[in-house]
Amino acid sequence: MFCALSGESPEEPVVSKVSGSVFEKRLILKFITDNGRDPVSGEELTVDDLLPLKLTNKFIKPRPPAASSIPNLLMSLQNEWDSVMLETYQLKQQYHTARQELSNALYENDAAKRVIARIMVERDEARAALAAVQAAYPAPGPESSDSNEMDVDEAPQFSVDMVAALEKMEETAADLHQQRRKRKVPATCATADEVTAYTQLLAINAPKAHTALAVDLAQPTVAGEKQDWILTGGNGGKVKILDRSNDGKAVASINAGKSIIRDVAWIDKEGSSPAFLTAGDDKIVRLFEVEHPNDTSFGISKAKETWNKHTKAVLAIKVHPTKEHFVSASSDASWAVHNIATGQTLNRYIHSDTRTAFHSLDIHPDGMIFATGCSDTVVRLWDMKSQSSATDFVGHLGGGNITGVSFSENGYHLATCSDAEAVVRIWDLRKMTNLRTIEIEAAKAKGCTAVRFDYSGQFFGVACGDELRTYRIKQWDQLCNLAGHTSEVASFKFGTDSKYIVSGGRKGEILVNGVAPA
Distance CA 346, CA 336 (A): 8
Residue 254's pLDDT is: 92
Domain edges within the chain? 13-61, 67-135, 160-183+193-514
Q: Exposed (0-12), middle (13-18) or buried (19+): which is 449, by Cβ within 10 Å? A: buried
Residue 310's pLDDT is: 96
Distance CA 308, CA 343 (A): 10
Number of Cβ within 10 Å of residue 197's Cβ equals 14
Distance CA 380, CA 402 (A): 10
Distance CA 500, CA 198 (A): 8
pLDDT (tens digit, 9 = 90+) per residue, 260-273? 999 999 998 877 88
The CATH code belonging to domain 13-61 is: 3.30.40.10
- Per-residue burial over 95-113, b if 16 or more Cβ lie within 10 Å, else e, is eeeeeeeeeeeeeeeeeee
- Asked whether 287 and 304 are in contact (CB, 8 A), the reply is yes
Edge-to-edge strand ranges of the sheet holding 467-472: 450-453, 459-464, 467-472, 478-482
The dihedrals phi and psi of 76, each to the nearest 5 degrees, come to -65, -45
Number of Cβ within 10 Å of residue 454's Cβ equals 23
pLDDT (tens digit, 9 = 90+) per residue, 204-216? 887 666 788 899 9
Distance CA 266, CA 319 (A): 8
Query: Is CATH 2.130.10.10 what the domain over 160-183+193-514 is classified as, yes or no?
Result: yes
Query: Which DSSP category does 312 fall into?
Result: S
Q: Which of 321, 418, 317 is nearest to 361 (CA)?
A: 317
pLDDT (tens digit, 9 = 90+) per residue, 298-331? 899 999 999 999 999 999 999 999 999 999 999 9
Largest CA-CA distance found in the chain, in angstroms, rounded: 137
Q: Which residues have C-beta within 8 Å of that of residue 271, sequence separation ≥ 6?
A: none
Lowest-pLDDT range of 271-275, 340-344, 434-438: 271-275
Number of Cβ within 10 Å of residue 78's Cβ equals 10
Number of H helices, E strands in the chain: 4, 34
pLDDT (tens digit, 9 = 90+) per residue, 137-185? 555 544 444 444 434 444 456 888 899 999 999 999 988 888 877 778 8
| Confidence band of 404 (pLDDT split at 50, 70, 90) | very high
| Confidence band of 358 (pLDDT split at 50, 70, 90) | very high
Number of Cβ within 10 Å of residue 398's Cβ equals 13
Residue 62's pLDDT is: 67
Is the pLDDT assigned to residue 290 strictly greater than 80?
yes
